[in-house]
Amino acid sequence: MIRITTNGTLRNYKSQLMNSTKNLNDRYNAVLTGRRFNAYSEDPVSATQAFRLRSSLATNAKQTSNNDTVVKKFSTAWDIIGDVHEDLVVKMGKVPALSGSNGTNLSVLPELGQVLSAGADAIVQDMNGKYGDNFIFGGADTLKVPFEFNDKGELLYRGQKVDDMKPTDPADPDNPNTYEKIDDKLYVDVGLGFQEGNNGIISSSAYDSALNGLDFLGYGTDGDDLPNNVVSIMKELGEMFQSYDTKTNTWGKGSAEEAQKLMNKLEQASDRLNKAHVELDAKTTFLKTNQERLTATGDNLNEQVVNVEDVDPAQAIMELVWAQQAYNAALKVGTNIIPQSLLDYMN
């Protein structure tokens, strides 16, 4: 027969009471902190999962903020391009150009030419607009004024003559006077994966937030050596109109035919600007949709963090009440165990 001694019983009791107290304390902590675990060792898998989710949440917040910044930049750009198209290219470009070319307003051609020149200057000013501290239409160069005129009145983009610029010639890819050379990217992490490949960031994993002013205004010349750029066209047409001598009815520069050709070019440039404007709108719409996606992802991540880390209050309180019951029962048992012995019944 196993002898059960007073101290053996007490040691067992103490040990069990300690377990019960610890359990009660753990349940208290769960209710008070609202957390399922308070140390990595309590649940290493969940702790790792929770930290990863928190990191994803922080990244998501940053991506949302990046997306927001790009949306605002693009919205500002959209407004500017809208103004440039409606108020400057149409009202100060196409309208006076049409008026001048229909042959009935030849007496006011010089004035119309001034309007065209002023319109061209205004376009450049608008296209040099900023969002925050950064120039919007400078492509990857957001620190320097993108458009300016040189001494000869020629339009420059990032220091290069816009009219001299050509598409990249495969036979001479290193020619610095090519459009691709300045068609650089500003990749931003908006939650598309942001991964690096062998040749830098994989374009589909990031969003290019660079806006190249030439995509809107055009560059280079056509086969007739006429500029494609709307500013150059308006500038040249303006000069042509201004050169018209109303007394002698002669053209100082160009001719009615050349003016007509430039008119057609202006029409094309206007169409391109309009098209680019619509494309920008489509890009902004994509970003806004992306914003919604990011917000939904953020909400989802938050929910996951809560699921992994937080206790279910109802369950936690139920467990606490149960632990209290067990603890109280242990105490009750203790008051019965400790004093009982034969000695208490002796006379």
Partner 1 sequence: MRNVSTFGSFTTARLGIYAAQKGLEVTGNNMTNINTTGYTRQRLDQMSFVSGGPDYYAVPMGTKVGNGVITTGVSQLRDPFLDIAYRNANTNVGQADTKLAWLEQVADVLDEVGKGSDDNGLLYKQMQDVIDAVNQMITEGAGHQEYDALVRTAAQGLTDLFNTYAKGLEQKKEHLETSLKQDVETVNGLLKNIQELNDSIRKADVRGDSALELRDQRNLALDELSNYMKIDVSYEMEDVGSGTMVEKLVVSISDTNIKLVDGKYVTQASVDMKDNYNIKLEELKDRFGKDTPNKQNQQTLGETLQGSLQASRDMLNGKGEFASKADIKADPNATTKRGIPYYQKSLDLLANKFADVMNAANAKGKKPDGTPGGVLFSNSSDGDAKDGITAKNISISKGWSTGATQLQCSADPNAPASATDNLAHILAELTGKGHKFEPTDVAADADSQDPLFTGSFQDMFLNIQGVLGNDIKNTAVVLNSYATTLDEVYVDRDSISGVDLNEEATNMMQYQKAYSAACRLMTTLDQALDKLINGTGVVGL
The contact set with partner 1 (CB under 8 A) reads 2-8, 11-12, 15, 33, 35, 37-42, 44, 47-48, 50-52, 54-55, 58-59, 62-63, 65-66, 69-70, 132-134, 138-144, 158, 184-189, 194-196, 200-201, 206, 209, 309, 341-343, 346
Q: How far is the CB of 64 from partner 1 (least distance, A)?
A: 11
Contact in structure between 146 and 127 (CB atoms under 8 Å)? yes
187/219 with CB nearer partner 1? 187
Q: How far apart are CA 312 and CA 98, in angstroms?
A: 73
Match 């603890």 to its residue by tokens: 327
Q: How far is the CB of 146 from partner 1 (least distance, A)?
A: 10
Q: Could you tell me which of 181, 272, 261 has the C-alpha nearest to residue 225? A: 261
Q: How far apart are CA 111 and CA 242, in angstroms?
A: 7
Contact in structure between 257 and 240 (CB atoms under 8 Å)? no
25/249 with CB nearer partner 1? 25
Q: How far is the CB of 157 from partner 1 (least distance, A)?
A: 12
Centroid of chain to Cα 79: 17
52/261 with CB nearer partner 1? 52
65/249 with CB nearer partner 1? 65
Q: How far is the CB of 107 from partner 1 (least distance, A)?
A: 48
Q: How far is the CB of 56 from partner 1 (least distance, A)?
A: 10
Token pair of 4 as six digits: 């059960």
116/188 with CB nearer partner 1? 188
Contact in structure between 228 and 265 (CB atoms under 8 Å)? yes
Q: How far is the CB of 160 from partner 1 (least distance, A)?
A: 13
Q: How far apart are CA 228 and CA 270, in angstroms?
A: 10
Q: How far is the CB of 163 from partner 1 (least distance, A)?
A: 22
Q: What is the distance between the terminal CA atoms of the chain, rounded to a whole angstrom?
A: 29
115/190 with CB nearer partner 1? 190
> Which residues, 6 or more positions from 259, have their beta carbon under 8 angstroms from its beta carbon?
97, 100, 101, 237, 240, 241, 251
Token pair of 137 as six digits: 């239409």
- Quote the DSSP letter at residue 178: B
Q: How far apart are CA 169 and CA 63, in angstroms?
A: 37
Beta-bridge mates of residue 216: none
Centroid of chain to Cα 245: 53
Strands (E), the chain: 130-131, 134-135, 147-149, 155-157, 160-161, 187-188, 196-197, 200-201, 207-208, 244-245, 250-251
106/140 with CB nearer partner 1? 140
195/295 with CB nearer partner 1? 195
> Which residues, 6 or more positions from 70, have their beta carbon under 8 angstroms from its beta carbon?
188, 190, 207, 209, 287
Q: How far is the CB of 255 from partner 1 (least distance, A)?
A: 41
314/343 with CB nearer partner 1? 343
Q: How far is the CB of 232 from partner 1 (least distance, A)?
A: 23
